[in-house]
Structure 1
Amino acid sequence: MAFILRRPFAIASALKQAPTASSTTIRAFHHTPLKSAPSNFFTSRTTAASTFAQSRNVFRNTFRRTYMQGTPTVQTGNFKQRLLYGAGIFGGAILATNLIFNRETREDGGMPIFERAYLNETFLHTGLGIGIIGVAASALHRSGWSYRLMATNPWLVAGLGLVGSIGSMYGCMAIHPDNYIPKYALWTAFNLTQAALLSPLFFMQPALLARAGLYTVGMMGSIAFVGATAKQEKYLYLGGPLLAGVAIVALSGLAPLVLPATATRTLMWTENLWLYGGLAVFGGFTLYDIQKILHHARLSERGLLPRDPVKESISLELDFINIFIRLVQILGMQQRRK
């Protein structure tokens, strides 16, 4: 009864289809030769019973077809609730992070203009670098580079990737910012190297990559806000502990190459350490890098350090890439469990 109340037009559609089957039977009966017509009472009862059973099947199939093939409707209420829940969780996370890590704010009346300008230039180069990586990785994936990269020896890929990434990175950092052409050339080479190594990520679903990118921007944006508004040089002491943490995370990432496949529990622990420990470490690096950029802005204002936003952007790009990769893997694992 509840189904009929939810589907008021199902009965009407069933009644429209039921006479079709019965009329077919009657029409066949009228066109049947006289000698093959039903000759006794039992034969007519059998024909009537089969007609009723056929009509009942049509009626039943109508309900089944209406239920199974109904057009899926988007429940706007649930979608709005999810949006509100997501916004509430994101805002609560920013508020909690601000209350925990940003209880001591700046005492110099806010961020000076030169610090804001230096930070904005660094963010601009970071966004451009990430854009270059995304566009180049997509183009390489469409050209078949990802398949060839996956078929190559992993040790060769790791060795060439480290040489290309570290070489171009330190070369770009070492060049004076007044030498625009070689500096930006090495900066572009660094981004293209990262794109070549990250192109296999495009085997994942685009929606999952978009979610991971959105979460990465939200996470780094909230941490950058805390680092920019916190007390000067408050989190610069994190450099040493974060280096120790990233060493542990790197060793846990290399564990599957050393440990046997039978050590399931140990591999599970190392994977969790690489994923969630890496998120914590590189989130801390984001906080540290933001305060380091502001510290370098003050030094460059005094003439003690050259103004180099390209060099500063490389650190934030590495933070973004490491957080993004881990979020992609975490979201992929959750999707496979469903």
Structure 2
Amino acid sequence: MAFILRRPFAIVTTLKQAPKAGQSFSFRAFHTSPLKQQSSFHTPKTASSLSKSQTVFRATFRRHYNQQATYSPASKVDARQRLLYGAGIFGATLVGINFIFNRETREDGGMPPYERAYLNDTFMHTGLGIGIIGVAARALHFNGWSYRLMAANPWVVLGLGLVGSIGTMYGCMATDPSNYVQKYALWSAFNVTQAMLLSPLMFLQPALLARAGLYTAGMMGSIAFVGATAKQEKYLYLGGPLLAGVAIVALSGLAPLVIPATAARTLMWSENIWLYGGLAVFGGFTLYDVQKILHHARLAERGVMRKDAVNESIRLELDFINIFVRMVQILGMSGNRRK
């Protein structure tokens, strides 16, 4: 149940919220030529459905992204300043989180070698899975998949997306670790399914996606450090409260489907719960999952269970995806306010 609620609902849920016809908007992808000049998407039916889908997508992230036409020498200096600011924020966050949540360190004098090896193996699979998602999403986007996904029936997208994602996920988790071919085939299918659902994010500026990815990695890295160095099983009690929290976040993400557009204040609160409450919940899940990985490593060392870094990485991948999608939305909204 927890894995179902931790699905990245941001894209597939929003595709269901098709607004009324007649709303106007401006939209631009990475290419500079107008969309109507693309020969692959000329039919009126496809153009009409694509127009609706693009309206929905833009309403999700609340920003029209335009590429800069001119280059200024000051942009290089500004990029360096942002990099320094980001490094400073990451360092301060790491120190602050470690000071607040990690006052009680491990009692065994440090992480034993078998726990360290299992955790490193899990992180390696997590990074590889996220890389597969990114590369596959980019390839699908430039092959026209994003257009077809946004022009499709939202209910079909939601149904097939959930079936494909949850089916491959549970199939991978149920496969014995010794069956390498089936295990990694299902794991790869799970990652490709996530890429198919997240590929419309490629319409946004690469700089924004890179910033969101950097912030997500920094947030998860600092929290994972706390979980790895904290007292054994200190945060395993968070499982129940986090499941309740993710249920509330998931319901807030579905609120626009049932709440009328006239209830602006209610929709605003539900959006804040979805964004900022989701960041807190999935940050907590990162802390919980890291400690659970170490707990599983101790059980595997005693022969109680088998090591399975692939299953452990799926949990962290879902945490990363949910935090990343919210980071993209928050950065897009903050950029829109600056304009």
Written as runs of structure 1 = structure 2, the 5 A alignment for 1:298-317 is: 298-317=298-317
TM-score, with structure 1 as normaliser: 0.77
Structure 1 residue runs of 5 or longer lacking an equivalent are 1-70
| Deviations 1:116-146 (CA, angstroms, capped at 9, x unpaired) | 0000110111011111101111011001110
Matched, 1:107 2:107: yes
Report the CA distance between 1:73 and its aligned residue: 4.3
Aligned length: 269
Partner of 2:167: 167
Measured at CA, do residues 111 and 155 of structure 1 come closer, stay the same or move farther in structure 2, by a change above 3 Å?
same
Alpha-carbon separation, structure 2, partners of 1:136 and 1:76: 30
Secondary structure of the structure 2 residue equivalent to 1:254: helix
Partner of 1:233: 233
* Partner amino acid, structure 1, of 2:226: V
Partner of 1:292: 292
Alpha-carbon separation, structure 2, partners of 1:198 and 1:79: 27
Flag the structure with higher helix content.
Answer: 1
Measured at CA, do residues 137 and 106 of structure 1 come closer, stay the same or move farther in structure 2, by a change above 3 Å?
same
* Partner amino acid, structure 1, of 2:314: I
Partner of 1:210: 210
Structure 2 residue runs of 5 or longer lacking an equivalent are 1-70
Partner of 2:58: none
Report the CA distance between 1:78 and its aligned residue: 6.5
Partner of 2:13: none
Flag the structure with larger Rg. Answer: 1
| Deviations 1:98-124 (CA, angstroms, capped at 9, x unpaired) | 011100000101000000000011011
* Partner amino acid, structure 1, of 2:139: A
Partner of 2:189: 189
Written as runs of structure 1 = structure 2, the 5 A alignment for 1:26-37 is: none
* Partner amino acid, structure 2, of 1:109: G
Ranked by relative contact order (alpha carbons within 8 Å, sequence separation 6 or more), the top structure is 2
Report the CA distance between 1:92 and its aligned residue: 1.4
Report the CA distance between 1:80 and its aligned residue: 5.6
Alpha-carbon separation, structure 1, partners of 2:166 and 2:75: 50
Partner of 1:254: 254
Q: For structure 1, which segment, 228-237 or 83-92, has the greater mean C-alpha deviation from structure 2 after superposition?
A: 83-92
Secondary structure of the structure 2 residue equivalent to 1:262: coil
Alpha-carbon separation, structure 1, partners of 2:222 and 2:177: 29
Alpha-carbon separation, structure 1, partners of 2:242 and 2:99: 22
* Partner amino acid, structure 2, of 1:160: L
Report the CA distance between 1:94 and its aligned residue: 1.0
* Partner amino acid, structure 2, of 1:105: T
Alpha-carbon separation, structure 1, partners of 2:200 and 2:75: 35
Report the CA distance between 1:84 and its aligned residue: 4.1
CA-based RMSD: 1.7
Written as runs of structure 1 = structure 2, the 5 A alignment for 1:59-208 is: 72-74=72-74, 82-208=82-208
Partner of 2:52: none
* Partner amino acid, structure 1, of 2:172: C
Partner of 2:326: 326
Measured at CA, do residues 233 and 156 of structure 1 come closer, stay the same or move farther in structure 2, by a change above 3 Å?
same
Alpha-carbon separation, structure 2, partners of 1:285 and 1:132: 22
Alpha-carbon separation, structure 1, partners of 2:124 and 2:77: 38
* Partner amino acid, structure 2, of 1:311: N
* Partner amino acid, structure 1, of 2:252: S
Alpha-carbon separation, structure 2, partners of 1:191 and 1:128: 10
